Amino acid sequence: MSQNTTPEPTDAAPPQHAQPRRRRRSLWLALALVPVLVGGGAVAAQAHKTVELEVDGESRTVTTWAGSVDGLLRDQGIDVGEHDLLAPGADAALDEGAEIVVRSAQQVSVQVDGEQRQVWTTAMSQADLVSSLHESGREVTLSASRSLDRSALELPLVVDGEALVRADGEETRVELEGEATVRDALEQAEVEVDRSDHVRVSSAADGTPVVSVTRVERDRRTETERIDFDTVRQADDSMYEGETRVVQEGRPGERTRTFGVIEVGGEQRTNVLLSNEVTREPVDRIIAYGTAERPAPEPEPEPEPAPSSGGGSSSSGGSSGSSSGGSSDSSDSAEAGGSSVPSDVWSQLAQCESGGDPTTNTGNGYYGMYQFTLSTWQSVGGSGLPSEASAAEQTMRAQILQQRAGWGQWPHCAAQLGLL
């Protein structure tokens, strides 16, 4: 028979007989006492006594012939385990009016200095439990049950005593009567808790039980990410090689991620990815490029043969004719430079192509009065954008292009003007 008065932390499993066991009093013991009562009256009167026996908080008055605490416990069928509390000790003499206390030890899970431990205890309340361990210099807390009625060992928070309730940055001292629970303390302090909140029991420096509430907030947050679009090139045989135009402008897409966030006491503890999906698909940018072969440039006209020299008057006449012919050659040369067509053909062509506006920029790769592509403009000696050049320069470059490649450079408008 052993006596245990101070709960000590241990990781060992509970012994087989940690709980008090009760047994029926043997019949032979009752019968064996009869002769003593009858034949030994004087001795029996001296041995007979009345004592108070408290077992796990329940007291009763017991009349016994036992001479020691151990004998009384045997008579009552009470076994005391290794970790149980017995006062006075088993070998103590049993006198009239003696008080014997038996408390059964049980194991409970507590946090000791932040580490989860299993400890044996004979405490009658959570307050006694955390206070006894706290006095040993260790930081001890208990987690309240979900119901908040009782937690460890089905113990009340306190029996006829005070408690401190700490929640939302405030501390409230409450006076509790009877076997009060954690819920009783919270209700008296007018503190409401959700099932997700953490409720723990610890001990103040003076031994007062402390009920601490830590708020647990659950929320969701989202974040978005840009998805770049692709650029796609498509062949177009309606345009010449080297020409391009934008068929469709690109648009970026969007990806959305959703996270589950848990905050404990205002501090983020969990950040879990709940979903990851494309909420807007990107749109490709499409650029068409020409594949049609450009027509061969028209051949330059062959020069006319020089007139032969003749006699005096003939020579003079020839000279005159030559002079006249020279004037004709000069006129033909001018016509070869683009004046062989009606003088207003270029203004008509510009009107058809762009409305005659030299600053035209359609945004699809065509510029100026004659809707040059940038590559074509550069091929006839132009620099910068065609729409930034003067109308005179644009006309000059268009005439060069016409001389090299013909009116087919403007197939639609040239056909309307009867140039093809």
At residue 190, the 3 state secondary structure works out as coil
The residue behind tokens 């594949």 is: 291
CB 139 within 8 A of CB 112: yes
Dmax (CA) for the chain in angstroms is 195
Both tokens assigned to 23: 């047994």
Q: Which residue has the higher pLDDT, 284 or 302?
A: 284
- pLDDT higher than 60, residue 30: no
Structure confidence at residue 49 (pLDDT):
87
CA distance 396 to 409: 15
CB 307 within 8 A of CB 318: yes
- Does residue 57 surpass a pLDDT of 50? yes
Give yes or no for residue 196 having a pLDDT over 70. Answer: yes
Checking if the pLDDT of 274 tops 50, the result is yes
Q: Compute the radius of gyration of the chain from its Cα atoms.
A: 55
pLDDT at 269: 76
Residue 24 has pLDDT above 80, yes or no: no
User: Sorting pLDDT into bands at 50, 70 and 90, what band is 318?
Assistant: very low
pLDDT in tens, 350-380: 999 988 899 998 888 899 999 999 999 999 9
Q: Is 34 helix (H, G, I), strand (E, B) or coil?
A: helix
Residue keyed to tokens 């009239």: 96
3-state SS, residue 78 = strand
pLDDT at residue 401 in the model: 93
**Average pLDDT of the residues in 384-391:** 92
What is d(CA 191, CA 193) in angstroms, rounded to the nearest whole number? Answer: 7
Local confidence band at 154 (pLDDT 50, 70, 90 cut-offs): low
% the chain with pLDDT above 70: 73
Residue scoring higher pLDDT (110 or 150): 110
pLDDT score recorded for residue 329 = 38
Q: For the residues of 199-255, what is the DSSP string, one character each?
A: EEEEE-TTS-EEEEEE-EEEEEEEEEEEEPPPEEEEEEEEEETT-EEEEE--B-EEE
Identify the pLDDT of residue 33.
31
Structure tokens at 219: 């929320």
Find the mean pLDDT for residues 221-229.
94
Q: Of 112, 277, 288, give the one whose Cα is nearest residue 203.
A: 112
Confidence of residue 15 (pLDDT cuts 50, 70, 90): very low
Number of alpha carbons in the 13 Å side-chain half-sphere of residue 398: 29
Which pLDDT value is given to residue 7? Answer: 42
Of 233 and 111, more confident: 233
Does position 252 have pLDDT exceeding 90, yes or no? yes
Residue 23 predicted with pLDDT over 60: no
Mean pLDDT for the chain overall: 76
Residue 17: φ, ψ to 5°? -115, 45
User: Confidence class of residue 258 from pLDDT cuts 50, 70 and 90?
Assistant: very high
Say whether pLDDT at 40 is over 60.
Answer: no
pLDDT recorded at residue 133 = 66
List phi, psi (to 5°) of 276.
-150, 100
pLDDT band at 179 (very low <50, low <70, confident <90, very high): confident
* Residue 256: both structure tokens together: 């959305």
pLDDT at site 144: 62
Closest CA to 289 of 351, 230, 247: 247
pTM metric for this prediction: 0.39
pLDDT at 194: 82
The Cα 282–Cα 255 span in angstroms is 10
Domains defined along the chain, listed by start = 27-103 (3.10.20.30), 123-214 (no CATH), 217-292 (2.20.230.10), 338-416 (1.10.530.10)
User: What's the whole-number mean pLDDT along residues 41-69?
Assistant: 76
Task: Using alpha carbons, select from 213, 210, 207 the residue that is nearest to residue 134.
Answer: 207
Q: Does residue 59 surpass a pLDDT of 70?
A: yes
319-340, pLDDT tens digit by residue? Answer: 333 333 333 333 333 333 344 5
pLDDT of residue 418: 87
**Cα–Cα distances in Å, from 306 out to 224, 256, 279, 316, 321?**
81, 82, 80, 16, 11
- The predicted pLDDT at position 245 comes to 92
Q: For the residues 116-131, what does the mean pLDDT come to?
A: 72
Distance separating alpha carbons of residues 293 and 60, to the nearest angstrom: 117
Given a contact cutoff of 8 angstroms between Cβ atoms, the answer to whether 106 and 154 are in contact is no
Helices (H) and strands (E) counted in the chain, each on its own, are 10, 17
Residue 14 has pLDDT above 60, yes or no: no
If we measure between CA atoms, which residue out of 29, 18, 37, 124 comes closest to residue 76?
29
